[in-house]
Amino acid sequence: MDNKAYEQYRKANPEVNTPLSTYEDVDLLDGNFTQTEMLICGVFLVLAIYATYKIFTKKKNNKNDESTSSSEREQ
């Protein structure tokens, strides 16, 4: 870019990358939850607890099945 084309470009298109310190701090959680947000969080919590329960009961069942099948083999 010759003939000061870059300077002309910068004048026509001012820089938009301003430092973050010029903006207000953004708070993702403003502390005010609506009923819908609390319901969604509750549903996800219940699903997470249920999934954890199913994982642990499945592992217990697999251990019980292995012990009964090994005792059947011995006979």
Residue 58 has pLDDT above 90, yes or no: no
3-state SS class at 75:
coil
Q: Give the structural domain span for 37.
A: 31-75
For residue 10, tell me if it sits in a domain: no
Residue 12 CA to residue 3 CA, distance in Å, equals 15
Following DSSP, what letter does each residue of 18-37 receive, concatenated?
--GGGSPPP-S--S---HHH
Confidence class for position 42, pLDDT limits 50, 70, 90? very high
pLDDT value of residue 18: 59
Q: Give domain status of residue 46, yes or no.
A: yes
Does residue 44 lie within any of the structural domains? Answer: yes
More confident residue, 37 or 16: 37
Report pTM. Answer: 0.47
Domain count, the chain: 1
- pLDDT at 3 (0 to 100): 76
Residue 26 lies in a domain: no
